[in-house]
Amino acid sequence: MNKFVKNSVLMSVALVAVAGASTQVAHAAGKELNWTLTGDLKTTDPSNVADIPSQNAVQATGEGLYRVGTSGQPELAAAQSVDVSDDGLTWTFKLRDNLKWSDGSQLTAHDFVCSWQRTNNPKTAAIGSMFFSGIKNADAIQSGKVTDMNQLGVKALDDTTLQVTLDRPLPQLKAELAMMYFFPEKESFVTATGKAFGTTAKDSLASGPYVLKKWDGSSSTYQYVKNPYYWDADAVKTPAVNVTTTADATTSFNLYNAGKADFAQLNATQARNSKHKHGFTTVHTAATTYMTMNQKNPVLKNVKLRQAMSYAVNREKLAKNVLTGAAEPAKTFVAKGLTKDPNTGKDFVDTAHTKYVSYNKAEAAKLWAAGLKETGKKTVKLTLLTGDTDAAKQTGQYLQSQLETNLKGLQVSVKSVPAKQTSALTKAGKFDLGLSTWNADYTDPVDMLQTLVTGASWNLTGWSDPKYDELYRKATVTDANDKAARYKDLVAAEQYAEKQGAVAPLTYSKITALQNPDVKGVYVNPVGGTFDWKHAEKK
C-alpha cells in the first residue's frame, strides 16, 4: 500500500479517540456527527486506496467478506459462513441473501470476482494487488505470465457462493479479506463510469453502512449518509457523518472548541497542553515510523554504515522531547500489537527486538569509522527526505542533529516537501535517506515484513538479501501451516533485517484527540482505515 500519503497524517497529528468529554464546550445538537480530518479524500476505488481519508471513505461505504469488529479481529460480514478445506487451500463462502448495492440492485458473488480480477489485472496497476499474493495464479497474472483473468483463484459458483483457491496456505487470509482491496465492485457500474470510477460521489457505489454524498473530487467538505440498502442497516444509528478536511490540526482544534466539530485531531503541542482536559485520550496504532536508506547510493550499500546510523539515534528523546508523547521508541520494524508469541504470549516486538535497534554512541562511531574505511570515504553527504508537516520536519531536524553529532564526517541536509512529492520522489528513488511510516493493513507481521523482500512493490530502498528472502519464504510457504514454526521464522526475518540495517525503526505511533463525550461507539481501527462509524451514536 502507498503509505506515504499516510505519513503526512501520522507524522502531523495524533488521530483518534474512543470516548471522552470536552471542557466547557456547547456542541451542536442532533444525531449527525461532525468530524474533522487532516488530509483530502482522493478516491473511493477499493482497488487503489492509498491515503487515510480514502481508507475511511471506502471502509464507511463498503464491506467485504469480513469486517474488523470492535475486538480488533475480523468477523464475517458480507459472508454468513465459510468452509475451509483440510489443506487450507480452498475457502468456500456463503454470502448473505439480502446483500444489495446502494442503488438497490442485488450484490452477488460475481461482484467479488469482478473486483478481484480487476485488482489483479496489470492494466489496472492497482495498489492493492500485492495483497493477493498466494491466491491461485495472482502472482502469475500480475507478472504477465498468465493473461486469462479467469485463472485467478476466485469463482462464483452461484449468486451467493464464492470459492477462493490458494497456491499455498495463507494463515493471514482472514485478516486480509477484511481489507478494502477485497471489497466487491459492480462490473456494470465500473464499466459505465470508466476512468471516473471512484473520483466523485456520483461515480461511487456503496455496499456498506453509508453512502458518500456532496464530494466532487476535491471538496473540503462531504457527507456519509446512512445506506438504507445495507444488510445490517438496523445496527447503524447515525443518519449522517459530516466531514470537514482541514489544512492543519490547529483548524480542527479551533472548530472543536467552537462547538462545530465532535472530533479534533491534535498535534504534539496541543496534545501536551490538552492532557488534563476531560476529552483527551491516547490510542496506540499499528504503525512504525522508520528511516529508509536508499541502496541506489553506493555508500548506503555498506552494512556497517547503515548499522551506525541506526545506533546513532536516541529514540527515547525523539519520542519524549520531539514528538512530546505522541509516539514511543520503536524496538522493531514490525509494529507493536500485531501478534503474540504462541508459546509465551509476549508481543512480537518483545520477542524479536535486537541490539541493532537501540542507541549506542560508541558502537555507532566505531561502525561508522569502519564503514568509511571499507568504502574509501572520509566524508559523506546525504539528503534526508521528509514530509512538510511540523512533526515530520522536527523529526528530520532531530535526525540530522543526531547523525551529524554522532557520526564524524557525515553531513545531512533535510529536504521537506508535501506528501505527494514525498511519495513521487521516494517511488522514483530520488532520495538518500527517507522518513516513512508504515501503518499495518492487517494483524500479521507478514504485512510489514513483505516490504523488505527483494523486488517487492513497496521495497523502495532496493535492499536485497537472499537470506532474508529465504526466511520470509519459510514463514509464508514452508511453515505456513505450522503456527509455532511460522512465528519463529517471522522473528528470525525481523532480527536479520535489523542486523543488516534494512531500515532503521524509530518510533511506534500513538494517536491523541479530543472527542465530544456525547459520541459513543466510534471504533478506532489500529490497522487499515482509522475510523469505523458503523456503530457510532450521538446521544
Q: What is the 3-state secondary structure (H, E, C) of 142-155?
A: HHCCCCCHHHCCEE
Over residues 441-448, mean pLDDT: 89
Distance CA 455, CA 471 (A): 15
Residue 507 CA, distance from chain mean position:
15
Residue 509: the pLDDT is 86
Render pLDDT for 481-509 as a digit per residue (tens, 0 to 9). Answer: 899 999 999 999 999 999 999 999 999 98
Residue 189 has pLDDT above 80, yes or no: yes
pLDDT bracket for residue 281 (50, 70, 90): confident
Residue 440: the pLDDT is 85
pLDDT bracket for residue 4 (50, 70, 90): very low
Distance CA 259, CA 505 (A): 39
Q: Cell 558502537 belongs to which residue?
A: 363
User: Which of 6-15, 158-167, 218-227 is predicted least confidently?
Assistant: 6-15
User: Which of 109-113, 264-268, 488-492 is predicted least confidently?
Assistant: 264-268
Q: Can you give the C-alpha Rg of the chain in angstroms?
A: 23
Residue 424 has pLDDT above 80, yes or no: yes
Residue 441 has pLDDT above 60, yes or no: yes
pLDDT bracket for residue 113 (50, 70, 90): very high
Residue 18 has pLDDT above 70, yes or no: no
Residue 132: the pLDDT is 95
Residue 9 has pLDDT above 50, yes or no: no
Going from the C-alpha of 318 to that of each of 37, 327, 376, 438, the distances in angstroms are 25, 9, 32, 18
Give 515's strand partners: 263
Residue 31 has pLDDT above 80, yes or no: yes
Residue 490: the pLDDT is 97
Render pLDDT for 348-377 as a digit per residue (tens, 0 to 9). Answer: 999 999 999 999 999 999 999 999 999 999
Render pLDDT for 509-524 as a digit per residue (tens, 0 to 9). Answer: 887 889 999 999 998 8
CA atoms lying within 13 Å on the CB side of residue 113: 21
Residue 24: the pLDDT is 31
Residue 304 has pLDDT above 80, yes or no: yes
| Sign of the dihedral defined by the CA atoms of residues 472, 476, 478, 484, in that order | positive
CA atoms lying within 13 Å on the CB side of residue 524: 20
Distance CA 57, CA 78 (A): 18
Question: In sequence order, which ranges of 302-389 are alpha helices (DSSP H)?
Answer: 303-311, 315-317, 348-352, 361-375
pLDDT bracket for residue 15 (50, 70, 90): very low
Residue 8: the pLDDT is 37
Asked if residue 363 lies in contact with residue 406, where contact means CB atoms within 8 angstroms, the answer is: no
Distance CA 477, CA 168 (A): 6
Over residues 103-108, mean pLDDT: 98
Going from the C-alpha of 187 to that of each of 108, 426, 430, 458, the distances in angstroms are 11, 34, 38, 28
The percentage of the chain sitting over the pLDDT mark of 90, rounded to a whole number, equals 73
The residue with greater pLDDT, 326 or 320, is 320
Residue 260 has pLDDT above 80, yes or no: yes
Over residues 326-341, mean pLDDT: 91
pLDDT bracket for residue 388 (50, 70, 90): confident
Residue 418: the pLDDT is 87
Residue 455: the pLDDT is 86
Task: Name the region of 30 (left: φ>0; alpha: ψ -120 to 50; beta: rest).
Answer: left
pLDDT bracket for residue 82 (50, 70, 90): very high
Average pLDDT over all residues of the chain: 90
Residue 10 has pLDDT above 60, yes or no: no
Over residues 443-461, mean pLDDT: 89
Over residues 209-237, mean pLDDT: 97
The pTM assigned to this predicted structure is 0.80
Distance CA 522, CA 536 (A): 5
pLDDT bracket for residue 533 (50, 70, 90): very high
